[in-house]
Structure 1
Amino acid sequence: MEKKLLNSPQHSEENTDSVVAEMFLNNSIKEFKREKLRKEIDQTLQDGNKDLFLKLTEELKKIS
């Protein structure tokens, strides 16, 4: 029967892959939110909605 150690290179490689995948996913979600906010900001400019424009630009600053 094969014994696997918790700190074996294989386990470490799996953790690294998991961390990289999570970083990629988080970055993708963040970029999606930024793009969505930019589109909403463009729409507020077209609509002349200053209050919503200010609110959305503050949100964009927070996630950038």
Structure 2
Amino acid sequence: MDKMKVSYEAMLGLVAEMVLDEAVLKYRTDRLYQAIDKALASGDKDTFHRLTDELKTLNA
């Protein structure tokens, strides 16, 4: 029974880590899209290219 409890706790830990990773990825992606929109609105080509490259890397 203890072995089963340890396995269950390990699985819960992995699921929690996956949920956290997904939340951080979504937050970072949303922030990048906001910054890209701002760069587009201001006509800042260098920042736009840098941010879109970062977004591509993040989604790869």
Quote the Cα distance in structure 2 between the aligned partners of 1:49 and 1:26: 31
Higher helix share: 2
> 1:55 offset after TM fit, Å?
0.1
Partner amino acid, structure 2, of 1:45: L
> 1:12 offset after TM fit, Å?
0.2
Partner of 1:36: 31
Q: What is the percentage of aligned positions where both structures have the same residue?
A: 34
Stretches of structure 1 that go unaligned for 5 or more consecutive residues are none
Q: TM-score, normalised by structure 1?
A: 0.88
Q: TM-score, normalised by structure 2?
A: 0.94
> Runs of 4+ in structure 1 displaced over 3 angstroms?
none
Corresponding residue pairs, total: 58
Stretches of structure 2 that go unaligned for 5 or more consecutive residues are none
